[in-house]
Amino acid sequence: MILKYSDDNSKELIYLIQNRSYYKRIFTIHYDPTDNGLSNSLLNKFRIAVKKEGFNSKLQEEIKKEYSNFIFHTQCNNVSLLAPEIIDKTLERLFLPNQILCDAPEPSYGTTKNILRFIPEPQRLQKNYPSRKEAGNKVSDVWKQIYNRLMNITAKGRIYCHPEIRDSLMAVLGPDDIRRIIERII
């Protein structure tokens, strides 16, 4: 039913999912506790940039430029991942929309639904029910200390590409190149 109302790009995504041929991760931006404050971290800048209209397209365009420049300036016919037909297929895909996708989930800080509360042992407070009820509303000290840090660690930024072009892209652009591209366009 959903295919009936989908455009060509959406139909291709649905087909890939049905065939378990998912987009492949080409780069992950991890939380770095050594950054000077979370607001200055690459991960936070990435989260902000991904929300802006056209960021995925801009990133795809920059990746296409870097890939093309490498291919143009390098003789690589002997490498199977960079055989002419694979290069052509990769460049053809990079001219199509939505071949590079970004995922930058926001960590969920302090939602009341996800708070671990301290519940005292029933034997200790059986005599004084109001104290027990009040203590049950206390947020765990351990939770307070680790929750925000844990959310930053688990809510990574990720960049994915169409499964047909991952190997060719990775043969040309390594993690340092992709990081440099991201830092340049943020």
* 181 in a structural domain: yes
* 80 in a structural domain: yes
Q: Give dist(CA 115, CA 27) in Å, integer.
A: 31
* 29 in a structural domain: yes
pLDDT at 152 (0 to 100): 72
* 98 in a structural domain: yes
Q: Give dist(CA 119, CA 85) in Å, integer.
A: 64
Tell me how crowded residue 104 is: count the other CB atoms within 10 A of its CB. Answer: 20
- Give the pLDDT mean for 51-57: 94
Average pLDDT over all residues of the chain:
83
* 8 in a structural domain: no
For residue 112, pLDDT beyond 60: no
pLDDT band at 127 (very low <50, low <70, confident <90, very high): low
For residue 178, pLDDT beyond 80: yes
* 41 in a structural domain: yes
Angle of helix 175-185 versus helix 55-73 axis, rounded to 10: 130
* 5 in a structural domain: no
Range of the domain at 180: 24-106+155-185
HSE-up of residue 4 (Cα within 13 Å, Cβ side)? 2
pTM confidence score: 0.77
Total of domains in the chain:
1
* 58 in a structural domain: yes
